[in-house]
Amino acid sequence: RQAELVRIVEVGPRDGLQNEKTSIPVETKIELVNRLAKTGLRTIEAGSFVHPKWVPQLDGLQMANSSKILEHVLQSPPPSPNPITYQWLLPNSKGLDNFFAAFDAYPSTHNGYPTPPPSPTTDNGPALNTSSQDPNAMPSSASGVDAMSQSQSQSPPPTSSSTHEVSIFLAATESFSKTNTNCSIAESLARFSPLISSARARDIRVRAYISVALGCPFEGPDVNPHRVAELAADLLEMGADEISVADTTGMGTAPRTAELLRTLTAAGIKNEDLALHFHDTFGQALLNTTVALEHGIRTFDSAVGGLGGCPYSPGATGNVATEDLVYCLHSLGAQTGVDLEAVSRVGEWIMGELGRPNESRAGKATLAG
């Protein structure tokens, strides 16, 4: 049976960099996006259009940065072996207006709307080998390349065309909602309804994150999974194209991840409408990923080098490292299209630029080997 495709959403340039304590030059951010685009990744969250005051790193300069990164991607799309979908995070209609202001400045350089992402197989049967890992079946970096060239041999020649989506975010608890977005959950939903309509009127796909779905820094680990399912249903009903269920604090455990996914399914949420977004604070992200794979989820978010953290989630560390996720998925027989060695080099490079140790074990081991 052919290896199943698992889609990785690289959030390093946004979720990864937003929590860095030192100012990062826009050239470095652009270089990060350029380098990631060459690794076989197909979806990259490249910036955010949020309020300058609200994220410590997002001073006026940083806000200008996201527009500059978007301008760069539109003007000179990063060379890539495959088409790339870029995502841009925004909290409200003002953010969408700012996004469109930059987007519309280069109308002839993009096709204006994204093509659907490569559709992962969505049957619920776990074709991936999550139960009996063969330790000898370690993926070489070539497995991602092979997967990529296989898919390319069946598709038109590689292009560097890019498409664009926006991502919005709300929280599963009132206290996190207030801290992160200065409004209640109900107010978030009310502000997103017209925003989603405006984006969809322009054929821009919308991804919606539900933060603190598996644990809240203020309300603890026992976030009500039924509340998460209601919010997912509401967002899909409003027209969101994908829900990224986020373990912002990394408090998620395997049993609670399984319970949350069962609750989402019981509420009628389809696996193909879901992504999972694990932060790795307690080192459970890959375990929870395998639980989600068993459940039939085929889209996962990660950040190169294990960059990241949410400014409003004290103590939360980075997203699961892309290198670790790719290594794990390849070992289970999945196809990601991502070249492990190439993405490991990007992780090593960006952590060096930031003066931080590389948080990806698979990345370090790959480069050492």
Query: Residue 362: CA atoms inside 13 Å, Cβ hemisphere, count?
Result: 25
Q: Are strands 274-278 and 242-247 parallel, antiparallel or unpaired?
A: parallel
Binding mask 1-20 for ligand HMG (x = CB under 6 A): --------------x--x--
Closest CB 354 distance from ligand HMG, rounded Å: 18
> Is 216 a catalytic site residue?
no
Closest CB 13 distance from ligand HMG, rounded Å: 12
Closest CB to ligand HMG among residues 171, 340: 171
Closest CB 15 distance from Mg ion, rounded Å: 4
Q: Which of residues 185-214 bind Mg ion (CB under 5 A)?
A: none
Encode burial over 224-254: b for 16+ CB neighbours within 10 A, e otherwise. ebeebbebbbbbbebbbbbbbbbbbbbbbbe
Number of residues that bind Mg ion (CB under 5 A): 1
- Choose which of 4, 15, 324, 359 interacts with Mg ion (CB under 5 A): 15
Tokens 């074709």 sit at which residue?
Answer: 127
- Choose which of 119, 155, 175, 182 interacts with ligand HMG (CB under 6 A): 182
Closest by CA to 5, choosing from 171, 148, 120, 164, is 120
Query: Residue 252 interacts with ligand HMG (CB under 6 A)?
Result: no
Q: Which of residues 338-357 bind ligand HMG (CB under 6 A)?
A: none
- Choose which of 41, 147, 240, 310 interacts with ligand HMG (CB under 6 A): 310
Q: Which of residues 43-62 bind ligand HMG (CB under 6 A)?
A: 48-51, 54-55
User: Phi and psi at residue 46, in whole multiples of 5°?
Assistant: -105, -10
Closest CB to ligand HMG among residues 5, 185: 185
How far apart CA 331 and CA 305 sit, in angstroms, is 19
CB 257 within 8 A of CB 320: no
The secondary element (H helix, E strand) that includes residue 275 is: strand 274-278
User: Coil, strand or helix: which one is 216?
Assistant: strand
Name residue 111's amino acid. Answer: N
Query: Residue 141 interacts with ligand HMG (CB under 6 A)?
Result: no
- Choose which of 43, 211, 271, 288 interacts with ligand HMG (CB under 6 A): 211
Residue of closest CB approach to Mg ion: 15
Closest CB to Mg ion among residues 48, 82: 48
- Choose among Mg ion, ligand HMG, none what residue 6 binds, the Cβ cut-off being 5 to 8 Å by kind: none
Query: Residue 336 interacts with ligand HMG (CB under 6 A)?
Result: no
The secondary element (H helix, E strand) that includes residue 10 is: strand 7-10
Beta bridge partners of 84: 162
- Sign (positive/negative) of CA torsion 277, 303, 327, 250? negative
How far apart CA 321 and CA 278 sit, in angstroms, is 10
Closest CB 216 distance from ligand HMG, rounded Å: 10
DSSP codes of every residue in 313-330: STT---BPBHHHHHHHHH
Q: How many residues does the chain have?
A: 369
Name residue 132's amino acid. Answer: S
- Choose among Mg ion, ligand HMG, none what residue 188 binds, the Cβ cut-off being 5 to 8 Å by kind: none
Name residue 128's amino acid. Answer: L
Query: Residue 207 interacts with ligand HMG (CB under 6 A)?
Result: no
Catalytic site positions: 310
Query: For binding to ligand HMG (CB under 6 A), which residues are involved?
Result: 15, 18, 48-51, 54-55, 90-92, 94-95, 98, 169, 180-182, 209, 211, 246, 248, 277, 279, 310-311
Residues that bind Mg ion (CB under 5 A): 15
